[in-house]
Chain A
């Protein structure tokens, strides 16, 4: 084996991306818990501190650029660095979405739409993210495809939830004279729709990560 330092820096990059994945995953998990338990303190903790994720993102992006410039990786190494570079962006975006979710929690009146099962949607999105990162860690092409397949399930759940909220909005009788009540309802509805949309996006980022991982492992761009 030659180029020991280079090989070590590739291994370090993978470990660092996984560590960032853990961080983002745990922030998403805390945001989801805060959402389902309406825990304002927990939500505030997630909403307040995304700097850590952003810092890691920028540092690892620099690492990738430096590897490309100085080591000119090819073949499997090239696919690994290129995929990691893309995956970092998805992780950073999931970090942003966790912040969004926490902020909605702080602002929303969850009692109004209790029948919308956000935790099932959130759990599914989180599982997809975890599976995608597991696939990245273990070079598991089958798991990449499985993540992509679950996206349809998530999309369906999200669509049903959105329809339910909108239908309720249409059917609900609101005293039109009560302007304050109308405004409040509209705020809650739009917030809830945004939550659903953001959870769907978490799933999309998980699919992106799985797609780049599949390319990395098998040079198969099928999911990209």
Chain B
């Protein structure tokens, strides 16, 4: 099921440098010293849905994520920003163990969901990814009907059964399926546009509709956390606005974590923002208002102001 290894060996020896804002790189871009994130102490209201502690990821020899500790508040939008290669997507993929699918990846450290370690033996990855769903950069609907895209997950999980065999066995969840499809599509703000063509192939939808369908598909299995990796970067401004509105609404019920390259998007839609900078480090984490109005780290200020990166 998994090719990744997990060790705890490094987490004890790390030193915290929280509060310092010393440059971590020389002008030539070499890393001088590995340090922990600088301004990552973040007091937020409410409960933490997910907690990462001393998270390290290596892809072979490449140290992609360095000692990231970060709590994700429930029922809110957490944005992860930073330049390409900063580790933000790597971090996101740790939250539902998608990195397990990469052979060379090695994850060290801890990630807890509702207090329970997800990097421990015996974790059911299918169940984990049902609770922590994911939406990718490019819309990737199944080449099936709109309806089947939504009901595929619940069928796989055995939550609904329809068809001849089910009827012969005395079970027919067709009504439940209809309700589920309608609810998921409404939640994803797509129902009004597709309700009269649910049997059409999903690949016939526009890019923005396909992405909302993917969000609906994610919602159909009733997740608790939704991870989004640049969900609107391939979309036009109107479709992007719809996705952003949707994310805002989803955060009332779900915990949303979104990676975005669009800093204005992060500023618009997120409650808290984590800034990763080159070298796989979390450099600053705080209220989005604070990050974009008054970041504490000079490097973060320079990055979000477009002065480097």
Interface residues in chain A, defined as those with a beta carbon under 8 Å from any beta carbon in chain B: 1-3, 6-7, 72-79, 219
From A3, A72, A78, A79, B307 is in contact (CB under 8 Å) with A3
CA distance A47 to B17 in the complex (A): 60
CA distance A75 to B286 in the complex (A): 13
Residues of A within 8 Å of B295, CB to CB, are 75
Q: Are A1 and B305 in contact (CB under 8 A)?
A: no
Q: Does B15 reach chain A (CB closer than 8 Å)?
A: no
Residues of B within 8 Å of A219, CB to CB, are 293-294
Residues of B within 8 Å of A72, CB to CB, are 263-264
Q: Are B307 and A2 in contact (CB under 8 A)?
A: yes
Q: Are B263 and A74 in contact (CB under 8 A)?
A: yes
With A72-B264, A74-B267 known to touch, is A79 a contact of B294 (CB < 8 Å)?
yes
Interface size, B (range): 10 to 19
Q: Does B306 reach chain A (CB closer than 8 Å)?
A: yes
CA distance A76 to B305 in the complex (A): 8
Given known contacts A72-B264, A79-B293, what 14 new A-B pairs fall within 8 Å (CB)? A2-B306, A2-B308, A3-B306, A3-B307, A6-B306, A72-B263, A74-B263, A74-B267, A74-B292, A75-B295, A75-B300, A75-B304, A77-B305, A219-B293
Q: Does B301 reach chain A (CB closer than 8 Å)?
A: yes
CA distance A19 to B249 in the complex (A): 47
CA distance A210 to B289 in the complex (A): 23
In chain B, positions 229-276 with a C-beta closer than 8 Å to chain A are 263-264, 267
Residues of B within 8 Å of A2, CB to CB, are 306-309
A213 to B: closest C-beta gap in Å? 15
A10 to B: closest C-beta gap in Å? 10
CA distance A79 to B295 in the complex (A): 11
Q: Are A1 and B307 in contact (CB under 8 A)?
A: yes
Number of A-B contacts (CB under 8 A): 37
Q: Are B301 and A75 in contact (CB under 8 A)?
A: yes
Residues of B within 8 Å of A73, CB to CB, are 305
From B293, B300, B306, B309, A78 is in contact (CB under 8 Å) with B293
Residues of A within 8 Å of B293, CB to CB, are 74-75, 78-79, 219
Residues of B within 8 Å of A75, CB to CB, are 292-295, 300-301, 304-305
Residues of A within 8 Å of B304, CB to CB, are 74-75
CA distance A6 to B306 in the complex (A): 10
A84 to B: closest C-beta gap in Å? 15
A-B contact pairs, 30 of them (CB 8 A): A1-B307, A1-B308, A2-B306, A2-B307, A2-B308, A2-B309, A3-B307, A7-B307, A72-B264, A73-B305, A74-B263, A74-B293, A74-B304, A74-B305, A75-B293, A75-B294, A75-B295, A75-B300, A75-B301, A75-B304, A75-B305, A76-B301, A76-B305, A77-B305, A78-B292, A78-B293, A79-B293, A79-B294, A219-B293, A219-B294
Residues of A within 8 Å of B305, CB to CB, are 3, 73-77
B108 to A: closest C-beta gap in Å? 33
CA distance A78 to B267 in the complex (A): 13
Residues of A within 8 Å of B307, CB to CB, are 1-3, 7
In chain B, positions 57-110 with a C-beta closer than 8 Å to chain A are none
B285 to A: closest C-beta gap in Å? 15
Identify the closest chain A residue to B296 (Cβ).
A219
Residues of B within 8 Å of A74, CB to CB, are 263, 267, 292-293, 304-305
CA distance A79 to B267 in the complex (A): 15
Residues of A within 8 Å of B292, CB to CB, are 74-75, 78
Residues of A within 8 Å of B306, CB to CB, are 2-3, 6
CA distance A6 to B305 in the complex (A): 10
In the complex, the 3 A-B pairs of residues with the closest C-beta atoms, listed nearest first: A219-B294, A3-B306, A75-B301
A7 to B: closest C-beta gap in Å? 8
CA distance A72 to B262 in the complex (A): 12
Residues of B within 8 Å of A76, CB to CB, are 301, 305
CA distance A75 to B284 in the complex (A): 13
